[in-house]
């Protein structure tokens, strides 16, 4: 595999999977730290209006990053299919490091006027480009590195590390909330989180340069087949590309509604203070992270389709009741239980969506096939989740958002029920 001839192939595979996962963790820490600290830095860049208006502005910038993800997915997906999964992973973490530094050093609105939010937007554009390519490269790398019998289990570590990145962002938030008062956090303390992300990215850059290339990519390169391109993806694999968009729509909307938006919901609607909301989400996300390998392993035993269909049915039935109950909850433990129920449901999507998509495409166009359709769906539904939720709230019809999430899950459920089980029809088997 690659230029190495390992004496212990299983240990070699495990080392590379864990190495690739560590890089994914830092990528998503840098991505999510923006959302975790938005309650503090939103007034710094957007000083006018009430709290909801400031959060709307910050959410709009968050959504801008998502709009760049399809472009990043296209450019870096092609790069990873042509130059290698390792090369794509290394480039993505380098760009994320630069974006984190830009946010950390950005001037405030009081110091630079409109230039301040412009710099924030530029940094999120760069990070959106990076994450757009990261998803495809890491999903494919983990899926190709894993053995066939436990591919669902090992590919679930993409979301283990994705959630861990979000969890670490929240842990940093809790630590800074304990060390600094609210005024200090709003004035300058939030910058520390972005400096930490940039420093971790440098460590991961070193780790990723030592990863081995996957055998699937090496075999495709040796065969000298067609080169990946956006035109070739939709011309030669239209059904698979559209399937990725459809199966992602409900899952990604639910994920961002239950995770990044949920912290703001607990403050802005349920009425918890910011510290309590952060603690609720930290505990829930830790449990959620631990669920992913179990659900991934379940898909190796019973198939991918039943697991995703389970998410579709439960999400359709319980999203509205869970959000409605959270409106009136006053106990932190009760809130934790409700959030945990939502996260357990969405695990049926998050734990295995990466491997499902990777199994749909041949090796020569796999990174692009996973990344670009996913990024399109993510930009349309995931990146706009917070903004849509806050818009409905600002308009006085907050519960319409709950029904919107449930309806999109229902539409994706139709796709899950009609698609073939990729565990039994995987194109990775043919590499």
Average pLDDT of the segment spanning 394-404: 92
Residue 26 · residue 200 · CB < 8 Å: yes
For position 225, what pLDDT does the model report? 65
Measured N-to-C along each axis, helices 238-258 and 332-350 cross at an angle, to the nearest 10 degrees, of: 170
% of the chain with per-residue pLDDT over 70: 92
Per residue in 89-131, pLDDT (tens digit) is 888 888 888 888 888 888 887 787 878 888 888 888 888 888 8
**CATH code, 278:** 1.20.1250.20
For position 209, what pLDDT does the model report? 79
pLDDT of 61 over the 90 cut: no
Q: How many domains does the chain have?
A: 1
User: Has residue 396 been placed in a domain?
Assistant: yes
Could you count the other beta carbons within 10 Å of the beta carbon of residue 231?
7
For position 7, what pLDDT does the model report? 47
**The residue to which tokens 């609720």 are assigned:** 280
Helix (H, G, I), strand (E, B) or coil at 188: helix
User: Has residue 166 been placed in a domain?
Assistant: yes
* Banded model confidence at residue 11, pLDDT cuts 50, 70, 90: low
pLDDT of 62 over the 90 cut: no
% of the chain with per-residue pLDDT over 90: 31
End-to-end CA distance of the chain: 13
For position 56, what pLDDT does the model report? 67
For position 52, what pLDDT does the model report? 66
User: Has residue 165 been placed in a domain?
Assistant: yes
User: How high is the mean pLDDT of the chain?
Assistant: 85
For position 1, what pLDDT does the model report? 40
User: Has residue 291 been placed in a domain?
Assistant: yes
Query: Which helix (H) or strand (E) segment is 4 a member of?
Result: none
Instruction: Tell whether the torsion through CA atoms of 141, 146, 149 and 155 is positive or negative.
Output: negative
Which of 176-180, 256-260, 345-349, 377-381 is predicted most confidently?
345-349
Per residue in 312-352, pLDDT (tens digit) is 999 999 999 999 999 999 999 999 999 999 999 999 999 99
User: Has residue 3 been placed in a domain?
Assistant: no
Quick one: the chain helix, strand, coil %, rounded to 5? 85, 0, 15
Domain with 212, as residue range(s), is 9-430
* Banded model confidence at residue 404, pLDDT cuts 50, 70, 90: very high
User: Has residue 2 been placed in a domain?
Assistant: no
* Banded model confidence at residue 12, pLDDT cuts 50, 70, 90: low
- Cα–Cα distance, 194 to 294 (Å, whole number): 32
Per residue in 145-173, pLDDT (tens digit) is 877 888 899 889 888 988 888 888 878 88
Give the residue, 403 or 183, on which the prediction is more confident: 403
User: Has residue 4 been placed in a domain?
Assistant: no
Average pLDDT of the segment spanning 51-67: 68
For position 431, what pLDDT does the model report? 46
* Banded model confidence at residue 289, pLDDT cuts 50, 70, 90: very high
Instruction: Tell whether the torsion through CA atoms of 73, 76, 80 and 82 is positive or negative.
Output: positive
pLDDT of 416 over the 90 cut: yes
pLDDT of 35 over the 90 cut: no
pLDDT of 382 over the 90 cut: no
* Banded model confidence at residue 250, pLDDT cuts 50, 70, 90: very high
Could you count the other beta carbons within 10 Å of the beta carbon of residue 204?
24
Weakest mean pLDDT among 3-17, 44-58, 180-194: 3-17
User: Has residue 1 been placed in a domain?
Assistant: no
């Amino acid at each position: 595999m690659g230029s190495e001839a390992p004496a212990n192939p299983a240990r070699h595979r495990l080392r590379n999977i864990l190495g690739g996962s560590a890089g994914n963790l830092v990528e998503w820490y840098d991505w999510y730290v923006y959302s975790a600290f938005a309650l503090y830095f939103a007034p710094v860049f957007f000083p006018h209006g009430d709290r909801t208006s400031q959060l709307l502005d910050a959410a709009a910038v968050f959504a801008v990053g998502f709009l760049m993800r399809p472009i990043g997915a296209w450019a870096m997906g092609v790069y990873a299919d042509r130059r290698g999964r390792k090369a794509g992973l290394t480039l993505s973490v380098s760009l994320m490091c630069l974006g984190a530094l830009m946010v950390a050093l950005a001037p405030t609105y009081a110091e630079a006027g409109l230039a301040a939010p412009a710099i924030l937007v530029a940094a999120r554009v760069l990070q959106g480009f990076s994450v757009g390519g990261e998803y495809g490269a890491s999903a494919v790398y983990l899926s190709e590195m894993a053995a066939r019998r436990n591919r669902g289990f090992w590919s679930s570590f993409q979301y283990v590390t994705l959630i861990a990145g979000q969890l670490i962002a929240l842990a940093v938030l809790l630590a800074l909330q304990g060390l600094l008062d609210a005024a200090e956090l709003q004035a300058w303390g939030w910058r520390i989180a972005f400096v930490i992300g940039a420093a971790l990215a440098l460590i991961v850059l070193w780790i990723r340069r030592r990863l081995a290339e996957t055998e699937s990519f090496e075999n495709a390169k040796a065969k000298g087949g067609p080169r990946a391109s956006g035109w070739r993806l939709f011309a030669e694999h239209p059904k698979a590309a559209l399937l990725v968009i459809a199966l992602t729509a409900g899952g990604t909307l639910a994920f961002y509604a239950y995770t990044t938006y949920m912290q703001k919901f607990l403050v802005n609607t349920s009425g918890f203070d910011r510290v309590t909301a952060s603690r609720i989400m930290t505990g829930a996300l830790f449990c959620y992270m631990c669920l992913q390998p179990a659900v991934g392993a379940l898909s190796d035993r019973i198939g991918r389709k039943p697991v995703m269909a389970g998410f579709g049915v439960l999400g359709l039935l319980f999203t509205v009741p869970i959000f409605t109950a959270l409106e009136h909850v006053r106990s932190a433990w009760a809130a934790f239980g409700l959030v945990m129920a939502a996260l357990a449901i969405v695990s049926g999507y998050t734990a295995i969506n990466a491997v499902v998509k990777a199994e749909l495409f041949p090796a020569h166009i796999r990174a692009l096939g996973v990344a670009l359709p996913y990024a399109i769906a993510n930009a349309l539904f995931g990146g706009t989740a917070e903004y849509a939720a806050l818009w409905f709230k600002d308009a006085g019809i907050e519960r319409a958002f709950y029904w919107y999430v449930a309806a999109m899950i229902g539409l994706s459920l139709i796709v899950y029920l009609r698609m073939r089980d990729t565990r039994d029809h995987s194109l990775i088997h043919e590499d």
